[in-house]
A and B are shown apart, each in its own frame.
Chain A
Amino acid sequence: MNMKTHSPLRNQETLLGATLLVLAILVFVGVVNFKNTAENYRALPPSFFPNILVGVMVVLSLALLVRGWRNAPSPIFKQSVKRSNVLRVVGLMALLVVFIVLLQYVGFAISSFLFVLSLQLVLGERRPVRLFALAISVTLVMYVVFVLLLRVPLPRGLLF
């Protein structure tokens, strides 16, 4: 993530402006493809407001591009980040996805226990007592507060 060499995108402003311009074009394509069934009955079509937003986005992106062109080249990412921590974020993302999938099959209690346990491992906790104590207590508290107290129906599994 640490880009010390200067890319053709000179700095943050240029990259943000370019991304915004691309987004504006994509949104415009989306707006053109709106169904216009109700066009004749209303003074304003559904594309009215999104089109204004496209216009605003183009103006903003041009402003950013001009500023980026005037400013000196500078690194895109301000903070240099440790490789191990980037891997941890990747781990978090993977765990979150697994958690969502697991929720649908084994219910909240088991997936929450496994999630808290493995996220602690990813973050570098190795003491077994701590690992299990937190995973069990957090799952229990969440269950009591959400399901028993506030009656939020969390996904149920085989056991809970």
Chain B
Amino acid sequence: MDVLSSLMMVLDPQIMLIIFGGTVLGILVGALPGLSATMGLAVLLPISFYLPPLNAILLLLGMYTGAIYGGSFSAILLNIPGAPPAVMTALDGYPMAMKGEAGRAVIVSTLSSFFGGVVGVISLIILAPWLATFALDFGPAEYTLLALFGLCTIVAVVGKSPVKGFVGVTIGLLLATVGLDHFTNVPRFTFGISSLLPGISYIPLVIGVFGLAEIINKILTLGEEEEIAQKMGSLKGNMKDVLLILKKFAPSSIIGTIIGVLPGAGGTIASMVSYNRAVQTSKEPEKFGTGNPEGLIAAETANNAAVGGSLVPLLTLGIPGSSPAAILLGALMIHNLRPGPMLFLEQRPMVNAFFIGMVVAQIAMLITGLAIARVAPYLIALSKKVMLPIISLLCIVGAFALSNSYSDVVLMLLFGVVGYFLREFDVKPGPIVLGMILGPMFETNFRSAMEISRIGLWTFVDSTIAIVLIVLIVLALMYPFIQGKLIKIRASGDGS
């Protein structure tokens, strides 16, 4: 009876409108480079104070869901990931758009996000308490290994040369150390510039190495490439992809939910690991990164499944694992909903209504996404003389909007130029950006683990989770070699 009454709470026209509005606004925030889910939530927070609790929380949950998904649009259409997890979406999404399949890419990403998101919410309902204890088993050593695993997977799947992949990751990690050291407050690599003291945000880096570098590349090849005809993106025309998604979404959703539960970079690592798994289990791994819908499915399903997962520690333990979750925590407290085990006992109908509302947000996302898929081919087919000024302006406004600082815009320019040259040298932007995003998590946990164990490396093999992660890291590192051998074996097998 509980669930039915919760369902009735959500099926109210006003609530439905609020969820849809929040989701659509979230998609817009996510799609614009420089605007994050955190910012979108912060903008809506004051409004939510004046709403009844259910309306308020569902508005914010809609915004959160939409913003994570919206990051895929700019990744596919502009090659600028709108949110960190969308870095993996750009790998295959943008090449698809360049091949004339922008509409198809948006449809695949929308459907994958939908399935992943729904699985994430369902697991949130069923597995919340169990997943929460799993997250508690992760100490600094385990987080260190998780970050290392994430970085090794990106190196294994992006670009031809693992050495150059690690060059990118190391540059990213180095950029993450700029600013005051969190442990000792000693300034590092700030060169006496005060605006560098708080550290560099990943946003100017993402916009620079993905966005501006691509603009430079586009201008340098101006007038050389032939116009590509964009195919229409309609659900009917892409039934094959729907079947493909139905076949492939389950493992990625599970990976997304489980890793998403871990506080910190859950969604980002989830999409990396899921993409890596898709490459390694594929019969044609060489197709990934060239516009393979399977890569898009792996990244987007995991990424959106992680949204549900990321709410597990928040709702069950009251621990916000990310900045957006911290804002949600604030909103819950203001409406006198104290997250924790008691929330599930005392406010069960309300909690159920949240979950149902999140499914509704997924449906809103699906409808909006399929509508955008019809427009996307036109957007990308615009002539470069129209597109390039718009994207350049977006890059600047995006870098500026983050914290209203000119220094971020200057950094963006710098990263753009350096990023262009690095790309010419096969050092891809993906590893650099992910190195920077995972850098603080990696360093902080590494040092904590070492300090707790009094500089004893045994701490990294001291638990089952740690040993499993080490095995996974070794496998990820060995993969390029194994793959080479496999291709040889297959080739000789075909010859006989």
Contact = CB atoms under 8 A, between A and B. Distances in A.
A60 B396 CA distance: 33
Interface string B377-418: 000000011101110110011001100101001100100010
B186 A46 contact: yes
B351 to A, nearest CB: 30
A77 interface: yes
Interface in B254-275: none
24 contacts: A27-B174, A30-B189, A42-B451, A44-B447, A44-B451, A46-B184, A46-B188, A50-B174, A53-B177, A57-B170, A60-B170, A64-B163, A67-B163, A81-B221, A82-B220, A93-B417, A97-B413, A103-B400, A116-B389, A119-B388, A138-B393, A145-B28, A149-B28, A152-B35
Contact of A153 (B392, B404, B425): B404
Given A38-B184, A79-B221, A152-B35, A43 B455 contact: yes
A104 B405 CA distance: 11
A38 B181 CA distance: 11
A140 interface: no
Nearest to B29: A150
B155 to A, nearest CB: 11
Contacts of B35: 150, 152
Nearest to B169: A56
A125 B385 contact: yes
B12 interface: no
A156 to B, nearest CB: 11
Interface in A89-129: 89, 92-93, 96-97, 99-100, 103-104, 108, 112, 115-116, 119-120, 123-125
B425 A16 contact: yes
B173 interface: yes
B388 A123 contact: yes
Given A16-B164, A43-B450, A67-B163, A120 B389 contact: yes
A49 B450 CA distance: 11
A151 interface: yes
Contact of A123 (B187, B189, B385): B385
Interface of A: 12, 15-16, 20, 27, 30-31, 34-38, 41-46, 48-50, 53, 56-57, 60, 63-64, 67, 77-79, 81-82, 85-86, 88-89, 92-93, 96-97, 99-100, 103-104, 108, 112, 115-116, 119-120, 123-125, 134, 138, 142, 145-146, 149-155
Nearest to B395: A96
Given A85-B221, A142-B397, A34 B185 contact: no
User: Taking each of B221, B389, B413, which has the highest tally of chain A beta carbons within 10 Å of its own beta carbon?
Assistant: B389
Interface string B155-195: 00000000110110010011001000101111111000000
Given A35-B186, A123-B388, 15 more contacts: A12-B425, A16-B164, A16-B427, A30-B188, A36-B186, A37-B186, A44-B183, A46-B188, A48-B447, A50-B174, A56-B166, A92-B219, A92-B392, A96-B413, A138-B390
Contact of B215 (A37, A86, A92, A103): A92
